[in-house]
Structure 1
Amino acid sequence: MSETLLQFLEGCIAEERLQRFRDVLSHRTRHVALVLENVFHVHNASACLRTCDCFGVQDVHTIESHNSFEPNKGVALGASKWLTIRRYSRKLSDDKNDTAATSDCIKHLRDHGYRILATSPRQNSKPLDEVIIDGKTAVIFGAEQMGVSDFAISQADDLIHIPMFGFTESFNISVSVALVLQHLIGQLNANATDWKISEAEKHELFEKWVRISLGDKLPPLLRRFEESRAK
């Protein structure tokens, strides 16, 4: 999109709305990424997206080896349209290859410089309060009841868990995501780490959000802009 076109479209949106975009972008990060492996419960999937948006986490990776990731728009409150969601899915002929999508996701993250953490209650996992974020970090959460796959655990750099002291063995996944992100984002805010997205990324997302906000109005506005340029 040319700068002239972007300026034209900005003129069709209230300044308060545009300023809200700028304020949100000033707190967006790609230093932390969320990975959801075969999460199928609609309500939980949606709540996880809403939590990411609230904490300023831009990137969500969904592994769909067995289950489709289908968030409920009402629960997510539209959060999905403001996030960058990358899906990994394979049509598999047998269960022996069900690690393919997880493998693709982990490879993508490693290629982009991420350290991989997997949530697990195993004895060798670190309690959350001992986790220090000193670089780009992706956290894998598993499906309800099943948890993170053995393959993902084998590929992770570290395992982490949230300490619990009651009879219940686990938190709901959306609660777990909120607790882990609160800890990690709190560390980012407290440290001098350069965790915010770049100016180029801000511009790209701002442009995307402007288009999203215009919705059905966008096609006629684009035609009007092209007509004005042709005169």
Structure 2
Amino acid sequence: MDEKRQLIIDHLAHYLTDRRRETLERVLSLRTRHITLVLENIFQPHNISAVVRTSECMGMQDLHVVDNDNIYEVNKHVLKGSNKWIDIVRYKEKKANNIERCFTHLRTAGYKIYVTDPAVDGLPIHQIPIEEKFALVMGNEKEGVSEYALQHADRKVHIPMAGFTESMNISVSAAICLSTLLPKLRLSNTMWQLREEEKQIIRLQWLKKSIRRSDLIEQEFLRSIA
């Protein structure tokens, strides 16, 4: 781990109450990048904001947002500040196949890629193997995932349904998927936790977001130890 970063962490931690420090460490201990979500072309701000909030509440650290046709917008009333504590990775390059860029990034990082699709030929969500890292791709409210995503994913998955309606609101689908997969992951022998170096980086980010004028405090501290 980075020694200088740790010195800054130790200094900033004194500006938090014991209870706040304990909460920060508890939340950090439950964070994971073993599972991540990809949102493709979501055009309703309240839906994408609800997924961000749900992901953060459930212990996800990353969320990937692909903007090929629709621009990522949020609803602050729905977010409730959750976007402060989660890393949102955006793919929004103009005149580029951003879902392809996203898939390349994820595969380089060692992820399998699963797309959600209401077709029953996909694997039921509760049967997804959790031993390997994977990304779960969710499409927009009207058209679902793109043809590129369907053709290039490692597997299709679906949420089993018992009614006439074949689809759910995306924020509901995300909540069902995460509440099904994350408890299963945490009860397994899979190493789902963040690495210590990752924790250190995120810990410092969270401390800075928790303390007023943290940038000035950090600068003064660094001058004092120079």
**TM tier, shorter chain?**
over 0.9
Map of 2:59 onto structure 1 = 56
Map of 2:83 onto structure 1 = 80
1:11 equivalent in alignment to 2:14: yes
Deviations 1:53-104 (A, max 9, x none): 1211111000001112222222122111111111001212xxxx6xx10000
Map of 2:215 onto structure 1 = 219
Secondary structure at the residue paired with 1:124?
A: coil
**2:29 maps to which of 26, 31, 34:** 26
Separation (CA, whole Å) in 2 of partners of 1:157 and 1:226? 47
1:5–1:167 distance in 2 versus 1, CA, 3 Å: same
Give the aligned residue type for 1:222: E
Map of 1:169 onto structure 2 = 166
Separation (CA, whole Å) in 2 of partners of 1:227 and 1:110? 41
Shift of 1:223: 4.1
Identity of aligned residues (%): 39
1:128–1:5 distance in 2 versus 1, CA, 3 Å: closer
Deviations 1:187-225 (A, max 9, x none): 21221111111111111110110011124x123323432
Query: Scaled by the length of structure 2, what TM-score is found?
Result: 0.92
**1:108 maps to which of 102, 105, 122:** 105
The answer on whether the counterparts of 2:120 and 2:158 sit within 8 Å (CA) in structure 1 is no
Segments of 5+ residues of structure 2 without an aligned counterpart are none
**1:90 maps to which of 93, 99, 119:** 93
Which stretches of structure 1, 4 residues or more, deviate above 4 A after TM superposition? none
Map of 2:128 onto structure 1 = 131
Separation (CA, whole Å) in 2 of partners of 1:2 and 1:134? 32
Separation (CA, whole Å) in 2 of partners of 1:65 and 1:183? 29
Give the aligned residue type for 2:9: L
Map of 1:71 onto structure 2 = 74
1:119 equivalent in alignment to 2:116: yes
Segments of 5+ residues of structure 1 without an aligned counterpart are none
The answer on whether the counterparts of 2:99 and 2:149 sit within 8 Å (CA) in structure 1 is yes
> Which structure 2 residues correspond to residues 32-51 of structure 1 after superposition, within 5 A?
32-51=35-54
Aligned pairs, number: 223
Separation (CA, whole Å) in 2 of partners of 1:192 and 1:2? 31
